[in-house]
């Protein structure tokens, strides 16, 4: 069985009881498909990036699952036809994510909170924070002066040699 995350967006016009009933209906169906639900985290109503069926908001729910590929395809089929589900996305958690979680647990960080070490960014390796000094930004390199426009590339040795041979740029004898 592999680890997956399932994010689904529910119709925001449903009242709180109907929303909770729909979430438990989806969870019951998932459990019947021999899928283990590790955690379900309802995020609540949030604004959508674009309209979906005349809705500007949606009720977001994130679930962590352990499932086989056949059972997961049946869950996705059921979500497609379920009234009240606007969108869903299933993502397989890869081995690198699992390694990162093990490193965080070993380092004593809370893996459930998703907190990163101070000064690190989401794409960084956990040990990369040691390379930073008090969160200071990298210094500008001396070979590229700050007054040079970014769109103008520095001259290479070959171009500089050609210019010195011809006397000036672009002239030929």
Domains, the chain: 2-95 (3.30.70.60)
Q: Give buried/exposed letters for 27-37 (b at 16+ CB in 10 A, else e).
A: eeebeebebee
- With beta carbons less than 8 A apart as the criterion, state whether 135 and 119 touch: yes
Q: Whole-angstrom Cα distance, residue 42 to residue 63?
A: 8
pTM score > 0.85 for this model? no
User: What is the rounded CA–CA span in Å between residue 135 and residue 129?
Assistant: 9
Residues 73-108 have pLDDT tens digits of 899 999 999 999 999 999 988 777 777 888 888 887
**pLDDT value at residue 130:** 42
């Amino acid at each position: 069985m592999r680890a997956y995350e399932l994010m689904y967006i529910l119709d925001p016009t449903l009242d709180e009881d109907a929303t909770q009933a729909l979430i438990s209906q989806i969870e019951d169906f998932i459990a019947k498909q021999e899928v283990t639900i590790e955690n379900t985290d309802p995020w609540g109503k949030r604004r959508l990036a674009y309209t979906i069926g005349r809705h500007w908001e949606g009720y977001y729910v994130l679930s962590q699952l352990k499932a086989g590929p056949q059972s997961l395809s049946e869950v996705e089929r059921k979500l497609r036809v379920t009234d009240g589900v606007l969108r869903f996305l299933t993502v397989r958690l890869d081995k690198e994510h699992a390694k990162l979680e093990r490193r965080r647990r070993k380092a004593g960080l809370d893996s459930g909170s998703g907190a990163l070490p101070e000064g690190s960014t989401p794409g960084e390796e956990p040990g990369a924070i040691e390379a930073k000094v008090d969160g200071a930004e990298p210094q500008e390199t001396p070979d590229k002066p700050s007054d040079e426009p970014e769109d103008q590339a520095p001259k290479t040795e070959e171009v500089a040699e050609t210019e010195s041979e011809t006397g000036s740029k672009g002239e030929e004898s």
